[in-house]
């Protein structure tokens, strides 16, 4: 019996010792599974350098036409949107009084011409009388007093000729003014284009300077855009610009830089850039809002990544970070951003060709997290 008891105690002690050794042994924590991530291999590629522009299209030839006469409009056939040719008659004002004024001025010219002819006849006669008086004085037929009177008469006759000639010039000038007033009763288009605004209808009374209509020529437009002073350096006249307007989504229009304003505005720290646009198709209209870019050159070996891969505080920040794959784990890289274009960013510092970039942001990604790389599919994938 005593031997059996010792055996039971020995077995019990062995079991207790084994349980304690198992409890003392630490259990290793299971590592979470790798995070599936879309990746792309960083490569260099040519990048078209450009400067963004936004602004309003304006017409080179926008003319506000105003009346230069007084009277009632009797005819105005064109409507807003109608095309007109340069010099085309568009508006007629009642011209009866002006035609009468022209007739009166023509009659005054005839009177002045007759007065000049009469003065010239009298001048010829007085000159002949003066010569006769000089001959008579030599023969003793007249006195010095008579000769003096003949000389005065000759001088007066010549003055009358000058006066009559001046009166004729005056009458002719008055006739020219009357004829101009008559011409002003017909209002012509100063330039070719389209009627943008029509301010009055037949029957309306006009006087200078009543606005009658506005013509705009959309064949030559300009995009006027403020450009930040920091981005002005690469812009040169003659550079190509491409832009779009909301009215024609998906359509790209082109123009050329013609002028960079020499002064930067102190309030906005920007200067106005003018881009000339040939609008032979006629689809563009003055006043349309346009967004585009001025192409300033090409960077032969640029690193460009999807904007969705870059973590930054705001869109204007140049310092940011992203994640690459190193030894099957996420590694954070601090980078510096260059240009931004169509959902992509140029990385000028912090990334090298051959790096495996995690192309999409995720809250599961952090420094050292295990990842399972998957090739990026879709528009952001690089060839």
Q: Concatenated DSSP letters for 50-114?
A: EEEEEEEEEEEEEEEEE--S-EEEEEE---TT-EE-TT-EEEEE--HHHHHHHHHHHHHHHHHHH
Residue 252 has pLDDT above 60, yes or no: yes
* Beta partners for residue 344, in sequence order: 306, 341
Residue with tokens 């105690």: 9
Q: What is the mean pLDDT of residues 274-303?
A: 89
109-123, 277-291, 367-381: range with highest mean pLDDT: 109-123
Give Cα 142 to chain centroid, integer Å. 88
Phi/psi of residue 142, nearest 5 degrees: -135, 170
pTM above threshold 0.95: no
Going by pLDDT thresholds of 50, 70 and 90, the confidence category of residue 25 is low
Between CA 183 and CA 188, with CA 187 as vertex, the angle to 5 degrees is: 105
Q: What is the mean pLDDT of residues 257-262?
A: 93
Q: What is the mean pLDDT of residues 147-152?
A: 86
| Token pair belonging to 245 | 């307007």
Contacts of 316 (CB under 8 A, 6+ apart): none
Per-residue pLDDT reduced to its tens digit, 93-144: 999 999 999 999 999 999 999 999 999 999 898 888 888 888 887 777 778 8
Contacts of 65 (CB under 8 A, 6+ apart): 187, 189, 190, 211, 212, 213, 214, 215
Contacts of 24 (CB under 8 A, 6+ apart): none
Going by pLDDT thresholds of 50, 70 and 90, the confidence category of residue 4 is very low
Q: What is the pLDDT of residue 26?
A: 53
Q: Check residue 265 and report its DSSP letter.
A: B
Q: Which of 22-36, 45-59, 129-143 is predicted least confidently?
A: 22-36
Going by pLDDT thresholds of 50, 70 and 90, the confidence category of residue 3 is very low
Q: What is the pLDDT of residue 47?
A: 84
């Amino acid at each position: 019996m005593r031997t059996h008891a010792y055996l039971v105690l020995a077995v019990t002690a062995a079991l207790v010792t084994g349980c304690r050794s198992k409890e003392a042994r630490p259990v290793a924590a299971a590592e979470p599974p790798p995070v599936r991530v879309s990746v792309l291999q960083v490569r260099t590629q040519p990048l078209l350098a450009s400067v963004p522009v936004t602004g309003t299209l304006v017409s080179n030839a926008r003319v506000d036409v105003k009346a230069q006469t007084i009277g009632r409009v009797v005819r105005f056939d064109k409507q807003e949107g109608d095309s007109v040719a340069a010099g085309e008659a568009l508006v007629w004002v009642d011209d009866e009084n002006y035609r009468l004024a022209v007739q009166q001025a023509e009659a005054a010219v005839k009177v002045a011409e007759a007065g000049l002819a009469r003065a010239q006849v009298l001048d010829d006669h007085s000159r002949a009388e003066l010569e006769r008086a000089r001959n008579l004085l030599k023969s003793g037929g007249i006195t010095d007093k008579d000769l003096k009177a003949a000389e005065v008469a000759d001088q007066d006759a010549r003055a009358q000729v000058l006066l009559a000639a001046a009166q004729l010039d005056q009458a002719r000038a008055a006739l020219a003014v009357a004829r101009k007033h008559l011409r002003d009763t017909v209002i012509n288009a100063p330039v070719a284009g389209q009627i943008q605004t029509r301010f009055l209808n037949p029957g309306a009374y006009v006087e200078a300077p009543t606005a009658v209509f506005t013509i705009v020529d959309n064949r030559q437009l300009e995009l006027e855009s403020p450009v930040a002073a920091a981005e002005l350096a690469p812009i040169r006249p003659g550079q190509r610009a491409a832009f779009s307007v909301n009215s024609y989504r998906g359509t790209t229009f082109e123009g050329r830089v013609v002028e960079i304003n020499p002064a930067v505005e102190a309030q906005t720290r920007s200067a106005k850039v003018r881009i000339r646009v040939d609008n032979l198709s006629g689809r563009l209209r003055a006043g349309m809002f346009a967004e585009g870019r001025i192409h300033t050159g090409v960077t032969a070996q640029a690193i460009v990544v999807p904007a969705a891969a870059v973590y930054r505080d705001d869109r204007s920040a140049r310092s940011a970070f992203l994640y690459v794959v190193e030894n099957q784990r996420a590694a954070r890289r601090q980078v510096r951003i260059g240009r931004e274009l169509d959902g992509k960013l140029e990385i000028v510092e912090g990334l090298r060709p051959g790096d495996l970039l995690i192309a999409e942001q995720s809250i599961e990604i952090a420094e050292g997290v295990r990842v399972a790389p998957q090739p990026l599919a879709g528009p952001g994938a690089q060839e």
